[in-house]
Structure 1
Amino acid sequence: MQTNQLRNSILDVLIRIDKDQGFSHLVLNEELKSGRILAKDEGLFTEIVYGTIQQKMTLDFYLEAFVKQGKKVQPWVKMLLRMSIYQMVYLDRIPDHAIIHEAVEIAKTRGHKGSASFVNGVLRSIQRKGVPETNQIQDRNKRIAITTSHPMWLVNRWIDQYGLEITEEMCKTNTKHKPITVRVQPLKVTREKAIQQLTSEGLEVEPSLFSPQGIIIVDGNILKSKLFTEDYVTIQDQTSMLVAEILHPEQNMKVLDACSAPGGKATHIAEKMRNHGEVYAHDLHAKKAKLVKEKADQLHLTNIQALAYDARKLQELYPVHTFDRILIDAPCSGLGVIRGKPEIKYHKTENDIEKLSSIQLDILNHVSTLLKEEGTMVYSTCTTDKLENETVVRRFLGQNECWQVDKTFFDELPEPLRGSIGISSVGLQIFPHTFNTDGFFLTRLKRKSSE
């Protein structure tokens, strides 16, 4: 693929993600599967797309120093400048003159002579003078926001919730690559044998502390491994693996996964049950429920029944006290998975969080009635916002005095997590920087004894 064709594809994808507010990983994967990107260019393509989105606010800060205030810049031109500056500042392998040449050629093709001249002028000035230093920003919170490319409202919110140190570390980590982790299908292979196989294939791996089925890919391409292509392992973050471990499903139990798509946790639960018992997996949308079924089929699991249904209306399907175990992996803002979906931090608002918190509490109140008297229920989210996590749990407990946090939950956590900075009286908040994972919250609830 010619370099200007590659850069054009990168620009198209960035514009689509920005304009349509699409999920970057979905748009990027669609482009990679199209066949338009050569295998040798896939790494660079992915790096520039993710990097440009991840550092958008920082790149705009750099750009402002070289564009006259009030000048109207077309969105595609601004995106072209962002991706070019990203390469100049963050990537060492591409010479500045090559980056500038490609940008100018794209501007000529997409715009006119004036567009090309403007792009050339801005990038040449940056090449000569260098980008401004963010440490010159006097306001502490604004400096964190610009340096790590997080909206001011989010930085301020996290500082109010967790303090300066945790917020700064979390924001910094959100701009860095996270290692891929996989979960073995234990009915097909043990973790020990999988590690041996991956090592023999030249990958550097290590066992996860979060789950006896988890493996961290330190170095190497897991997507090319036979274990992945033949479904002996599936990709899942370590924090998500912790859910099934804490839920403790057993063979022949009846388990409910109320908000299941895309099915990673439901299939893990089914594996822990040795493909026995029944796992009822639901999601609001039929398309997403279908993903759960496909994931189960992929892993050769037959004890999962997937059906589209609103978690808040599951009482229409099941009588009270039906399930031995319930998982509510609630719909959330996703602020814990910014590293993999960086556009989230620009698209979400505080109003979104308020609405989601209300939905989460509603789901808890409705679904909890379906748990057997001696059963346990896990509530989890992939966000780092207290309103969606601790606050929801406290409100649920306040409205339902017969419920409590299962205190044995804390003792059963993997040892490194027991002293984590995210431990509270109502659960565990995992921050991205603590264990180099997604940000995640979980807790385990049960009814109080009637004695």
Structure 2
Amino acid sequence: MTPSARIAATVALVAEVAAAPRRPADATANSFFRDRRYIGSGDRRAVAERGWGVLRQRLRLDWHLARLGLAPTPRLLVMAYLLLAEGWTVDGVLQAFPGGRFNAGPPDPGEMAAIQALAGRPLADPAMSDGPRLNLPDWALPGYRARFGDALPEAAAAMDQPAPLDLRANLLRTTREAAMESLAAEGISAEVMAYSPWGLRIPDRRPILASRTFTEGLVEIQDEGSQLIALLTGAMPGMRVADYCAGAAGKTLAVAAMMRNRGRITACDVSATRLEGAVKRLRRAGVDNAERHLLEPGDRWAKRRAGQFDRVLVDAPCTGAGTWRRNPDARLRTVQRDLDELITKQSAILDTAAGLVRPGGRLVYATCSVLPEEDSRQVDAFLSRHPAFEAVALRDAWAEIAPAQGATVTPPCEGPWLELAPHSHGTDGFFAAVLQRKA
């Protein structure tokens, strides 16, 4: 593709994402490129990266366009991004919109006036309010401030950067060292992670799904923070474990490896599609001690299995406010009403999942959020409702679990909970609390 054809494809991708505002952008992008198989891998990567850049900076781009009294059309968003984020000149933008076959049409008079007004301006304008200046939605600002305090600008800036590609070596099939050698043999350089004893990081986001190392189940894609949540379960061979909000079973796979395929782990979810998607992953990873259960309205599964599990993991549905560097569109799709509804849902899930834990067993509550409303405050409320449970401080849980798994002796965080963030740990933003049912 020519450079201008790439720009035209970026405009088309931004338009399709905008047309489905409640659908995850990666799903829209997958459909977009599947319908355009003629776009080669290099062009696809360039179009996707620029499209994701527009999504990542959308709050700021909207502010600039609103200041000019303009609606954020896909064309204007891409033009503004080229000028404000990539530093293009007016002439450069005009050359990128030349018209003709496979190219985007030239700017109309309104677009031309916008291009001239935006040229040379800073992306993060000093006149911006805190939301667009920090690139955070207004509804999330109070929670971000409560979590990060004086470190908020640093935390927000890190959330603004693209995420690396994190992998977990599947110890059911290999070792971390052997997985790294296998990747290297395919020309993929990986680094050992700072905290996870199973983790490998590929800084430059190389394509991995077609690699032999991945297809043979030697590695799985999983952020380091997510790996640490699985680690905190302390699951051991012979245990009975429930992954109560399993989704596509990413943490189920990690926990099964900790259990060395001995014992039983049940992956539960309300989505049949997600659970069906887990089948292929479980098979590729060589997991044979897992079963799946679909949670449906009126389901009595939890009541029938009350008090039967040594470990219950609740990776609760949440705003995903800790993953916005990886899923920049989520900060646009999520609103205050979603947060309010999720807080209620998280509370109900915790109450149900708590009944599965045997005396002396543990419940691990986790989110991929950094908002206290979904994290520490949710745990405090749970403990006030359930006096049979007590919190296990992170340092105590880590000291008990880490040596057996080959993890670092010192836990990643100093506080009572696992609280991770891109600027402080290089991971996505995660929260986890270990709660023990009294014997």
TM-fit CA distance, 1:296: 0.8
Confirm or deny that 1:325 pairs with 2:311: yes
CA distance in 2 between partners of 1:331 and 1:79 (Å): 31
Among residues 150, 163, 181, which one is paired with 2:166 in the alignment?
181
TM-fit CA distance, 1:148: 3.4
Q: Which runs of 5+ in 1 are unaligned?
A: none
Q: Which has the higher helix share?
A: 1
Confirm or deny that 1:170 pairs with 2:172: no
**Who is 1:429 aligned against?**
419
Alignment deviations for residues 121-149 of structure 1 (CA, whole Å, 9 cap, x no partner): 4224444xx11574532x7xx2x422332
CA distance in 2 between partners of 1:107 and 1:351 (Å): 44
| Contact 1:246/1:444 (<8 A) preserved | yes
3-state SS in 1 of match to 2:236:
coil
Among residues 194, 200, 204, which one is paired with 2:179 in the alignment?
194
Alignment deviations for residues 278-298 of structure 1 (CA, whole Å, 9 cap, x no partner): 111111121111122222122
Greater length-normalized contact order (CA 8 Å, ≥ 6 residues apart):
2
**Who is 2:126 aligned against?**
136
CA distance in 2 between partners of 1:434 and 1:109 (Å): 43
TM-fit CA distance, 1:310: 4.5
Decide whether aligned partners of structure 1 residues 291 and 108 sit closer, same or farther in structure 2, where only a CA change above 3 A counts: closer
Confirm or deny that 1:240 pairs with 2:230: no
**Who is 1:90 aligned against?**
85
* 1:187 aligned partner, one-letter code: L
Identity within the alignment, %? 23
CA distance in 2 between partners of 1:61 and 1:83 (Å): 14
Confirm or deny that 1:118 pairs with 2:110: yes
CA distance in 2 between partners of 1:375 and 1:85 (Å): 54
Confirm or deny that 1:13 pairs with 2:49: no
Cα RMSD of the aligned pairs, angstroms, is 2.8
CA distance in 1 between partners of 2:224 and 2:122 (Å): 38
**Who is 1:409 aligned against?**
397
**Who is 2:212 aligned against?**
226
| 1:166-315 → structure 2 map (5 Å cutoff) | 166-219=151-204, 221-223=206-208, 225-310=211-296, 313=299, 315=301
**Who is 1:372 aligned against?**
358
**Who is 1:29 aligned against?**
30
| Contact 2:173/2:286 (<8 A) preserved | no
Among residues 343, 347, 351, which one is paired with 1:361 in the alignment?
347
Confirm or deny that 1:446 pairs with 2:439: no
| Contact 2:412/2:418 (<8 A) preserved | no
Q: Which runs of 5+ in 2 are unaligned?
A: none
CA distance in 2 between partners of 1:285 and 1:254 (Å): 22
| Contact 2:370/2:431 (<8 A) preserved | yes
3-state SS in 2 of match to 1:136:
coil
CA distance in 2 between partners of 1:96 and 1:306 (Å): 56
Confirm or deny that 1:420 pairs with 2:438: no
Decide whether aligned partners of structure 1 residues 416 and 7 sit closer, same or farther in structure 2, where only a CA change above 3 A counts: farther
Decide whether aligned partners of structure 1 residues 302 and 39 sit closer, same or farther in structure 2, where only a CA change above 3 A counts: same
TM-score (norm 2): 0.88
**Who is 1:48 aligned against?**
50
CA distance in 1 between partners of 2:101 and 2:151 (Å): 42
| Contact 1:315/1:367 (<8 A) preserved | no
3-state SS in 1 of match to 2:190:
strand
CA distance in 1 between partners of 2:152 and 2:298 (Å): 33
Alignment deviations for residues 204-225 of structure 1 (CA, whole Å, 9 cap, x no partner): 3221233221111134625153
TM-score (norm 1): 0.86
